[in-house]
Amino acid sequence: MKPGLEESALLTALMAEYAMAIDDNRLEDWVELFDEACEYKVVTRENVEQGLPNVLMWCDNKNMLRDRVESYREVNLYNLHYDRHVLGPLRFLAKEGSTCTFEASYSLFQTELEGASRLFSVGKYRIEALIENGAARLKSVTVIADTGLVPSLLATPI
């Protein structure tokens, strides 16, 4: 079963807010898009295809996301770069009960404070979201990055 028009619009809006919250440096708003029982992880496509267990970032509940954002705020008094996500259309995979599974491709650009922009990462999201009472929230977000990423570069989420 696939989500209907209203649900598709809710999920597209959820992802628009996901991307813009990170890009606006509203990371606390980004955390609030998740359910308390949630998972967020970043893996590389190479590791997925080779069956390797390496994970570049992994939070398995909302408090870990809160902690991560809080640490980031303490360490980074100033914004060191700007992020900019451009997401493609959602590919809906399934709807089971109130849970929808979908994917979306992303391009992520970073701009240094001097003003130069560059491609930072491309890949896709694989997402499980809950829709209840006309609102959607994130249960599971897996970022599968085509681009090889060094964990230390991941100051902000993707």
The pairing of strands 135-145 and 91-96 is unpaired
Of the candidate residues 33, 34, 124, 158, the single one contacting a second copy (CB under 8 A) = 124
- Of 50 and 75, which CB lies nearer to a second copy in the complex structure? 50
Of the candidate residues 63, 80, 148, 153, the single one contacting a second copy (CB under 8 A) = 148
| Piece of 17-25, 31-39, 57-65, 135-143 that binds a second copy (CB under 8 A) | 17-25
45 forms part of the interface with a second copy (CB under 8 A): yes
Q: How far apart are CA 154 and CA 83, in angstroms?
A: 11
- Of 45 and 68, which CB lies nearer to a second copy in the complex structure? 45
87 forms part of the interface with a second copy (CB under 8 A): yes
123 forms part of the interface with a second copy (CB under 8 A): yes
- Closest among 151, 32, 146, 19 to 83, alpha carbons compared: 19
In the region spanning residues 47 to 76, those forming contacts with a second copy, defined by CB under 8 A, are none
Pure H helices in 24-100: 27-31, 45-49, 62-75
DSSP element (H, E) containing 15: helix 5-23
- Closest among 94, 105, 93, 131 to 19, alpha carbons compared: 105
Contact 9, 18 (CB under 8 A): no
Positions that interact with a second copy (CB under 8 A): 5-6, 8-9, 12-13, 15-17, 19-20, 23, 44-46, 82, 84-92, 103-107, 109, 111, 113-119, 121-124, 146-149
